[in-house]
């Protein structure tokens, strides 16, 4: 079922509604919660991207890759933080090393979601 927010009371958003009328109430609630979580997780993704994920076996099939990339990101960030420290210690004798340390600090802040 489609609900058109024709009066724009919800920021111009339209809604697609799903209703199941019979079944085990606990299971129905769990399914509704799962649907809501899926909708929220997919917010901002275009349909083409969602279909591409589905064709690759769904999100569950991609979780090991995502976890691996997350680990790799953490390892690389830690290495960059170490390199920044080394360059700062060398910066007393070398302006070039200090400039590199500043560059690394900006990259670290950006990777952590801060301003570059």
Do 101 and 91 meet the contact criterion of CB atoms below 8 Å apart? yes
pLDDT digits (tens, 9 = 90+) for 76-109: 999 999 999 999 999 888 989 999 999 999 999 9
Closest CA to 81 of 57, 62, 109: 109
> DSSP letter string over 38-83?
HHHHTTT--HHHHHHHHHTTHHHHHHHHHHHHHHHHHHHHHHHHHH
The CA distance from 12 to 109, in Å, is: 36
State how far the Cα of 74 lies from the Cα of 93, in Å rounded to an integer.
30
Model's pTM, two decimal places?
Answer: 0.56
Per-residue model confidence as pLDDT tens digits over 17-66: 666 677 888 888 888 888 888 888 888 889 899 888 888 888 888 889 88
């Amino acid at each position: 079922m489609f609900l058109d927010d024709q009066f724009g009371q919800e920021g111009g958003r339209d809604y697609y509604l799903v209703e199941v009328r019979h079944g085990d109430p606990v299971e129905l609630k769990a399914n509704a919660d799962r649907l809501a979580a899926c909708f929220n997780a997919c917010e901002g993704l275009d349909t083409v991207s969602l279909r591409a994920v589905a064709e690759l076996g769904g999100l569950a099939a991609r979780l090991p890759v995502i976890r691996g990339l997350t680990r790799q990101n953490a390892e690389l960030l830690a290495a960059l933080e170490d390199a920044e420290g080394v360059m700062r210690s060398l910066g007393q004798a070398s302006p070039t090393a200090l400039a590199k340390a500043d560059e690394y600090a900006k990259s670290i802040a950006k990777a952590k979601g801060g301003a570059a």
